[in-house]
Structure 1
Amino acid sequence: MSNVIRLTKLFLKDGFGNKENQSTKERGNYKKILLGIFIFICLIPLMGTISFGTKEIYGILKPMGQESLIVGALVMSTFSVVLIFGMLISISVLYFSSDIESILHLPLKVREIVSAKFITILTHEYAFVLFITGTIGGTYGYLESAGPIYWIKLIVVTIILPIMPLSIACILCIFLMKFNFITRNKDRFNMLIGIVGMGLAIVFNIGLQKMTRLPKDELMERLGNGDSLASTLFNNPLIKAPMNFLSQNDIGSSSMNFMFFVVFTIGIFFIYIIIAEAFYLKSAMSISSSSSKRKKISEVDLSKQSEKKSQIIAYMMKEIKLLLRTPAFFMNCVLVEILLPVFLLIPAIANGTDITAIKENLSKAREFVSSNASETVALFAIATFVITIFVAGSAIVSGTSITREGGSFYVNKFLPISAKHQIIGKLLSGVLINSIVLVYIIIINLVLGTPIINFVVSITTCILTIILINITQILFDIIKPKLNWTNEYKAVKQNLMVFIMMMFNFGVAGAVGVITLINFKNIGGNGLIITSSIIAILVIIIAIMYNVVMSYGIKKYEKI
């Protein structure tokens, strides 16, 4: 146990860069306090939006006596988030970290290594879980005027609930990596495993949610008998036990079921340890080897590759190749942006949404949008801005463009390309990757059959928002890059500046969402004015931020 604690402290300290000497400790404490205040301020708008939505839903469900449905949704969303993102993080931490080679040669047992890494991942996941349970669970408890027992239960559920889905994610990860011996191209296989792993986590989550479905006739019969809608919909034991424990005042039966859930959770964790002891060591030792094709290059190919190209384009392609070829960078900066729409579609897929109902709703939406083009143009601009900043802001591409270089950043000092062109190349790579959001926006507009003015406004807002996000992110990374990291995962996930950037993006998106909800009735009548103002403000901010990057940013970049 002592080795597990030491390893965990080492992983956490190394991951978040908390190495500090005595002379800077006092100054660092002040910075941490200010940083905490800044993060909290950024989170207030997003938390306000979620709390507002929870309050509205509670107002609808309370008269029907079905308010516990909120708790069921809370448990299900927490389970899903930890399972899917846990798969993403566990592959990086367990296999794609450069500390594997040094750790495996120490006199440590496999169970000590995998336990310490599990706790490290779990600590990271608690940030997401605390946000979900704190906003939704906190709002529910306040509206219910819950007593101390509820808040104690909420803390217990917050601590216990993430352990099972994370254990499942780690088990899937180890089983997948067991087959890494079948190919010589380890880098490509590692990338494929990351994608397959995420797919399996999503399929598992959909299957779990499908288990909660009941036929419509049985559902209506239970509701007619006065049964709880939450217990009817979330009838899977993995979801029902913590939901009942949190929502029911009867401590006896609900606590007993929750204790069985805790025992089952501990069992799943020990299964993870047993599987890790059987398969982890061999697959982890072979994961770092790679291969080359030794392809012969003809004179024609050599002349093509030697042709003079734009410095900026060449540097941009270098950045994109680094993103696509490094598994940890690809999964955390690119794959997460591709899969976000899938996450949003999971409830619809799991609940077996009727195709006819979807067509009818789409038909109504198209009719409404086409007949109210001038009134909805501002809503399209605002919705596009919020979606873009949320999705593109979750994939910190430009925000880690310098950090990703790590200890090899000094090579840029000797390249025959100016600092200005290097920064522009990094910016363009981020804009190009984030253009995935633009594809989503185009698809949404085509599906809704939006009028041309709404379509143009939506596309323009999306492009400007992507540019602004990348300029802001690269400025953050220039100011405080994290070049001293031991594995790629720590560069993009266990990075404090990345967390600050994400909180800042979510804060802005949440603030715009709150303002839109408050002034919803006034938006339609001033659609063109609001839209023009949004685009003008984006252009002005982009111009200011670009000048800052090209002046202060270049000087700072050259001193790194």
Structure 2
Amino acid sequence: MNKMISLIKVDINNTYGLSTMAHSLKDKKSRWRFIIFGILMMSLIPTYIMLIRALGNMYDASIQIGQRSYFLQMGIFASQILVFVFGIIYVMSKYYFSNDLDQLVPLPIKSSHILGSKFVTLMISEYLTSLPIILPFILIYGIRGKEGILYWIYSFLLALGIPVLPLVIASILVMIFMKYTNIKGKKDLLRIVGSSIFLFLILFIQFQMQSIMQKVIAGGDEFYINLAKNSNLLVMKLGVVFPPSMWGTLSLVNYGNFSGLSYVLLFFLVSIIGYIIMILLSEKIFFDGLIGNMEVSSSKSRGSRIIGIKDSIKINKPYISLAKKEVKILFRTPVYLLNSVGGVIILPAVLVMSTVTGDESLELLTKVLGEFPHFIVLPAIGMIVFLGMLNSIGCTTFSREGKNFWIQRTLPIRIEDQIIGRVLSSLIIQLVGIVAMIGSIFFIAKIRLGNILIIAILGLLGSIPMTQIGMIIDILRPLLIWDNPQKAMKQNLNVLIGMGVGFLYGGILTFLTIKLFDKIDINYIYIILALIFILSSYILYIILKKLISKQFIELQ
């Protein structure tokens, strides 16, 4: 137990940089980072207030249909699903790609202790995902319903326990996946493909659940009669998909009697049993997947052959070589791949799956888009442009170098090539997103080739300034000290700052487009957008040249 507690302390300190944070608070030059972070958090308050108001309207609607408990279950279910989806990425990165594993594995420490300590750290991280979602539901239900003190005690316990079971399931699935994809020479490819399929499968299941619920609600008079008779009918229906969400809901709904207590105990009992199974399973299969991941591949050729210098060396332009290097790193590191490529294809996937699973709300939209294609061209351009920031490539391009950043500073590569190469790597990923976006749009509404070209060209042009904005933010405050590749991309404040600035840039362009929409021809709007993208790219290019030249000298 002492080893476990020590590992948890060390892992929390390494993950969240508590020692570094304490030192930064004493350093006057570093305090501005915390001030910026505080300002960014405060800027999200108006949006969060709007969300809470919308949830208040949902609460009123649930009362009108006599299904007040269903409102509570939506919050619990949504938070657990998000913890599970993000947990897949976090678990793979934390369990198998942390730099501290090189030091931990040779030590006389059980795999269950290593996994258990990392699980606790992940739990803390997942509270940042689950609490902002579940708290408004709990507060609205409790305050408007004037619930008793026992309700708040149960709510507090459930809020703490919500991430446990989704993380346990994610951990077990990832461990099994990593063990049985440990095929020599092909494991990276299999894991990348498997992870992508896994995420798409999760999305598909989620939309299938929505489709089932729509069909249930459309069941006719019998459904409404049952709805009136049973105030927990919808809770029971959704509980079939994931019972723990039903147990958590019923424990809060029935907090005043014994059934509420029994559901709380059942919720935590299943979570504890799941955790024990995960720990026991880790003793059997964790090291199998981990050791395979840490293997160094040997030469495949049994014989030897003479290779000439011209055959072994291929000369490329510096920016081409840099772009290739960036893309290879993105594809070789699963956590980078899932966050960059996964980010640009998840939205198109959602659009397609909404149609495949029979979302009737899209039928009218499809007809309108067929007659007025500019209503889909402009939003598609906007989504692709924002994906240029959402892929997190630009705003982590220097941070991903980590401790090897000094190599980039010493290589005889011009600053211009540094900029072009890193922008190209982002555009290569953007091409994947553009193909996915156009494919999903064509699946929903058959648009013409000319519109497809406009989306692709303007989408790429708009992605350049978005990437450059991220690069400016990252070169000003690169996160170079990390022991887990997840920190460089998922736990990097530059990503959040970049999204905020990207929203501002996109918001200004959206406002301008709306103002011009009824005043000039749509083709002139496309031309204006293209000119703005080109001019923005040039201005940001000049700024980047000066900043990178300065930072390459000053950064230590």
Q: Which residue is equivalent to 1:494?
A: 491
Change in Cα spacing, 1:314 to 1:283, as seen in structure 2 (3 Å) is closer
Change in Cα spacing, 1:34 to 1:20, as seen in structure 2 (3 Å) is same
Stretch of structure 1 that moved more, 263-272 or 232-241: 232-241
> What one-letter code is carried by the residue in structure 2 that aligns with 1:475?
I
Change in Cα spacing, 1:398 to 1:147, as seen in structure 2 (3 Å) is farther
SS of 1:19 mapped into structure 2 = helix
Query: What displacement does 1:263 show?
Result: 0.8
Q: Which residue is equivalent to 1:124?
A: 125
Equivalent residue in structure 2 for 1:260, among 256, 266, 269: 266
Matches within 5 A, 1:14-53: 14-20=14-20, 24-27=24-27, 30-31=31-32, 33-44=34-45, 46-48=47-49, 50-51=51-52, 53=54
> What one-letter code is carried by the residue in structure 2 that aligns with 1:413?
R
Equivalent residue in structure 1 for 2:428, among 428, 432, 438: 432
Aligned mates of 1:489, 1:478 — CA distance in 2 = 19
Change in Cα spacing, 1:372 to 1:140, as seen in structure 2 (3 Å) is farther
**Is the 8 Å Cα contact of residues 170 and 272 (structure 1) preserved in structure 2?**
yes
1:82 aligns with 2:83: yes
> What one-letter code is carried by the residue in structure 1 that aligns with 2:234?
A
Change in Cα spacing, 1:442 to 1:382, as seen in structure 2 (3 Å) is closer
Query: What displacement does 1:503 show?
Result: 5.8
SS of 2:294 mapped into structure 1 = coil
**Is the 8 Å Cα contact of residues 400 and 480 (structure 2) preserved in structure 1?**
yes
Structure with the greater relative contact order (CA < 8 A, sep ≥ 6): 1 or 2?
Answer: 1
TM-score normalized by structure 1?
0.81
Q: Which residue is equivalent to 1:332?
A: 339
Equivalent residue in structure 2 for 1:551, among 546, 552, 555: 546
Aligned mates of 1:497, 1:14 — CA distance in 2 = 19
Gaps of 5+ in 1: none
Query: What displacement does 1:261 show?
Result: 1.2
Matches within 5 A, 1:77-226: 77-134=78-135, 153-179=154-180, 183-185=183-185, 188-197=186-195, 199-200=197-198, 203=201, 213=212, 216=216, 220=220, 221-225=222-226, 226=228
Query: What displacement does 1:312 show?
Result: 1.3
Aligned mates of 1:362, 1:346 — CA distance in 2 = 11
> What one-letter code is carried by the residue in structure 1 that aligns with 2:237?
L
Aligned mates of 1:199, 1:418 — CA distance in 2 = 40
Equivalent residue in structure 2 for 1:477, among 474, 479, 484: 474
Change in Cα spacing, 1:287 to 1:372, as seen in structure 2 (3 Å) is closer
Aligned mates of 1:500, 1:141 — CA distance in 2 = 34
Aligned mates of 1:145, 1:525 — CA distance in 2 = 50
SS of 1:290 mapped into structure 2 = coil
**Is the 8 Å Cα contact of residues 419 and 554 (structure 1) preserved in structure 2?**
yes
Instruction: Kindly provide the CA deviation profile for residues 376-395 of structure 1, in whole angstroms up to 9, marking residues without a partner as x.
Output: 64x85356425652x44443
Change in Cα spacing, 1:386 to 1:126, as seen in structure 2 (3 Å) is farther
**Is the 8 Å Cα contact of residues 401 and 426 (structure 1) preserved in structure 2?**
yes
Query: What displacement does 1:418 show?
Result: 1.1
1:367 aligns with 2:371: no
Instruction: Kindly provide the CA deviation profile for residues 272-302 of structure 1, in whole angstroms up to 9, marking residues without a partner as x.
Output: 0110122223442343112144569989996
SS of 1:234 mapped into structure 2 = helix
> What one-letter code is carried by the residue in structure 1 that aligns with 2:396?
T
**Is the 8 Å Cα contact of residues 16 and 495 (structure 1) preserved in structure 2?**
no
Stretch of structure 1 that moved more, 135-144 or 275-284: 135-144
Aligned mates of 1:54, 1:540 — CA distance in 2 = 42
Aligned mates of 1:62, 1:520 — CA distance in 2 = 40
Stretch of structure 1 that moved more, 124-133 or 146-155: 146-155
Query: What displacement does 1:94 show?
Result: 0.9
**Is the 8 Å Cα contact of residues 386 and 512 (structure 1) preserved in structure 2?**
no
> What one-letter code is carried by the residue in structure 1 that aligns with 2:266?
F
Equivalent residue in structure 2 for 1:322, among 329, 337, 351: 329
Equivalent residue in structure 1 for 2:392, among 382, 392, 396: 396
**Is the 8 Å Cα contact of residues 43 and 503 (structure 1) preserved in structure 2?**
no
Change in Cα spacing, 1:520 to 1:433, as seen in structure 2 (3 Å) is closer
Gaps of 5+ in 2: none
TM-score normalized by structure 2?
0.82
Q: Percent identity?
A: 22
> What one-letter code is carried by the residue in structure 2 that aligns with 1:11?
D
CA RMSD of aligned residues (A): 4.1
Instruction: Kindly provide the CA deviation profile for residues 440-472 of structure 1, in whole angstroms up to 9, marking residues without a partner as x.
Output: 332344332357887666545533442232111
Q: Which residue is equivalent to 2:407?
A: 411
Aligned mates of 1:50, 1:88 — CA distance in 2 = 26
Q: Which residue is equivalent to 2:416?
A: 420
